Chains A and B, each alone.
Chain A
C-alpha cells in the first residue's frame, strides 16, 4: 500500500508527526549526552529553563526567533514559487550595507520617525537587490538559482570585508566596524518599550523588530493565499506549463518571488544592526540565513509553522548556550551536534515516520482505507 497518498487529519500532520520527530531527535541527543557522562534529563531541564525559565532567557529566545522568522519566511516564499533560495545569508549581509549607508549618511539630520522606516526600507531594498541578480540569471539565462545564490553569499562576504576593512571602518578602531549609529536609528528595545506601559523586564537584545517579524508573517500569509499575485506565484511554482496556459508569466514570477524573499531575509539586518549592535560589523548574519532553510522545511512553508519552528530554533540557540554554560563537559561543539540532530530529524527526515503513523492511523480508523483506495 502506498502510504504517501493517504490523507491524514491536520492535527496528525501538523502536531503529532513533528512532535514525534523532535522526541526521536532528543532521544538520540540524549544518548550522546549519556556517552560523555552527563545526565540527559538534567540537560533537557537546563535547556528548557535556560530558554524559558526567567524573563532574560525569554528575551534572548525571542530575539533569536525574530531572525529565524525572517529567514524562514524568505525561504518559504521562494519555495512556493518552486525556487530554492540558499542566499538568505548573503541577502541579509548586503541589506546591512543598505542600513549602514542610509544611517551613517542621514542620522545627524533626520528624526527617528523618518530615519527608522527609511533604513528598514533600505534593508529590504538591498536584500532584494542581492536576490534580484540570481533571479534574473535564473529567469533569463537559465543559471540554476541554488548555485548562484550560494555564490552570491561568498560575493557578499568578500565585498563586506573589503568595505569594512578599507572604507567604512571607524578610524582608530581595532576591529573592522563602522562607527556607532546615532540613537535616532536605534529600534527601541523590548525592555524600553514595555517600560512605557509600566512593565519592567530585564534588558535583553529583544527589540521591536519582533513585531515586524510577526507583521511579515501576516503579510506573507495574505500575499500567498489571499491575493491573485500569490495565486499566480503558487501556480507557477506547482506547474509552469499550467501557469503559462493561464496567462501567468513565469519569468516575472521568478523575479518577484526572489525579490520578496531577499527583502524578507534582509530584515535580519534590521534586528541585528538597528536593534542590537547599532553599527555595521562583520559576520553579523551568523548563519541565520542557512538555518532559515531548516526553519522553513520544518514549518512546512506556512507562516504559522514558521513561527513555531523559529521558536524551536530560538530555544535551541538560547537553551544550547545555557547548556554549554552550566555543564562544563558539554562544549559548544556538542551543542551544535544536538542542534544538528534536531534539524536532521525534523527537517531532512521529516517524512520518515509518516508511513508508520499512517499505518497506526488506519488501524484505528479502518474506514479511512476506503477513502485512500478511492
Chain B
C-alpha cells in the first residue's frame, strides 16, 4: 500500500511540468465574495494570477450535487491542481480524486486521505488562544464574549481556544458564548450578530470575538456603537472600525490557496495533510496602524511570549474537535 502511494506520488511528480499548470478553484455555496472564508481563497488565487500571469478556472456551486460535478468537470478539462474550498466538499473530492489519480487536488479545512490530495487544515485554536490573551488583558470587567456563526464543531474549536487564552491570563475571567444559529444562514446574519453582542455588553462584557463570517460585521458595528472592543476573524478586519477593533485572528486561507497553485507550478506540491498553526504562520493575530493604539507594550510582549511558548510546546492548546469537549 505504501509502495503504491509512493509510486503514485512519483508518477504525479513526473507528469507535472511547470509550464502546463492549469489551476482551477471550486468555491463553495457562500460564493467568492462572502467577505470571509471564500473571499480569502479568492484573494489568494487572484494574487497568484497577478504574480504569474496564469489564469485559473473557477466555479461557484449553487446546490449540493454541483460540488462533485464541478470538481469532476475541472479534472476532465485537464485542470491541475484543483482546489476545493471548505469542509463540505470533502465527500465529493474523495470520489473525484479517486477517479483522477493523476490530478492534484487540494482541499482547505478538511482532510481527504488519498495519495493525490493535499489537505490543508488550520489550528484555529492556537490563533484564538492568542486573541483570548489580548481580550482578557484589554478587558476591565474581567468578562469577555464570543459570538460564533453556525454551531458546528469547527466554530467550537475557535471558542475553546479563545476561552483557554483568556483564562491563561486571568484565571477568574468569565467567557460568555453565543452561537448565531444552526443553519448556514448563521454565517450572514449581521442583525442577529449585533443583537447578541448588545446582550453580552449588557451582561458586563467589554471585548467580543466574532468567528461568524458575515455575521461578524454586526458584532463590530455594535461594539463601535457601544464604545466596546471587538476582535475580527479570518482576514485582517482591523480597518473596519479603527479604534474599536482590538485585533483580528488571522487564518491564512489566502496563503493556503496561493501555495497550492504556486507549489504545483514549482513542482514542489506534496500530497498529505498540512496542519498550519502558529509555527507555520497559518494562524496569528493582526497588528497594524488601525489598532496599534489599543495594544499596549505589555500586551504585545505578553502575546508574543505566549506565541513562543505555544510554538515551543510549553503551552498545549486543547483542540475541541479532538474529543468534542472543551476541558483542558
Instruction: Please give the distance in Å from A167's CB to the nearest CB on chain B.
Output: 12
Residues of A within 8 A of B62 (CB): 321, 332
Q: Would you call B52 an interface residue if the criterion is a C-beta within 8 Å of the partner chain's C-beta atoms? A: no
Question: Do B64 and A284 have beta carbons less than 8 Å apart?
Answer: yes
CA distance A174 to B65 in the complex (A): 18
Question: Do B64 and A174 have beta carbons less than 8 Å apart?
Answer: no
Q: Give per-residue flags for A173-196: 1 if the beta carbon is below 8 A from chain B beta carbons, else 0.
A: 011100000000000000000000
Contact of B87 among A162, A174, A276, A321 (CB under 8 A): A174
CA distance A165 to B150 in the complex (A): 10
Q: Would you call A210 an interface residue if the criterion is a C-beta within 8 Å of the partner chain's C-beta atoms? A: no
Residue of B nearest to A279 (CB): B91
Q: Would you call A172 an interface residue if the criterion is a C-beta within 8 Å of the partner chain's C-beta atoms? A: yes
CA distance A162 to B183 in the complex (A): 9
Contact of A324 among B60, B64, B88, B153 (CB under 8 A): B60
Instruction: Please give the distance in Å from A15's CB to the nearest CB on chain B.
Output: 31
Main secondary structure of the interface of B (DSSP, over half): mixed
Residues of B within 8 A of A325 (CB): 57, 59, 70, 73
Q: Give per-residue flags for B300-324: 1 if the beta carbon is below 8 A from chain A beta carbons, else 0.
A: 0000000000000000000000001
Q: Give per-residue flags for A262-304: 1 if the beta carbon is below 8 A from chain B beta carbons, else 0.
A: 0000000000000011000111101000000000000000000
Contact of B324 among A162, A172, A286 (CB under 8 A): A172
Query: Residue among B57, B62, B184, B324 with the most chain A CB within 10 A?
Result: B62
Residues of A within 8 A of B267 (CB): none
CA distance A277 to B110 in the complex (A): 19
Instruction: Please give the distance in Å from A55's CB to the nearest CB on chain B.
Output: 13
Question: Do B182 and A277 have beta carbons less than 8 Å apart?
Answer: no
Q: Would you call B293 an interface residue if the criterion is a C-beta within 8 Å of the partner chain's C-beta atoms? A: no
Question: Do B69 and A60 have beta carbons less than 8 Å apart?
Answer: yes
Question: Do A283 and B65 have beta carbons less than 8 Å apart?
Answer: no
Q: Would you call A331 an interface residue if the criterion is a C-beta within 8 Å of the partner chain's C-beta atoms? A: yes
Q: In the complex, which residues 313-350 of chain A have their Cβ closer than 8 Å to any Cβ of chain B?
A: 321, 324-325, 328, 331-332
Question: Do A174 and B59 have beta carbons less than 8 Å apart?
Answer: no
B residues bordering A, Cβ < 8 Å? 31, 57-60, 62-66, 69-70, 73, 87-88, 110, 151-154, 182-184, 324
Known: A165-B182, A174-B154, A175-B88. 14 other contacts (CB 8 A): A161-B183, A172-B324, A174-B87, A174-B110, A174-B153, A176-B152, A176-B182, A276-B65, A277-B64, A283-B64, A286-B64, A324-B59, A325-B59, A332-B31
Q: List 6 A-B contacts (CB under 8 A).
A: A165-B182, A172-B153, A174-B153, A175-B88, A328-B57, A328-B58
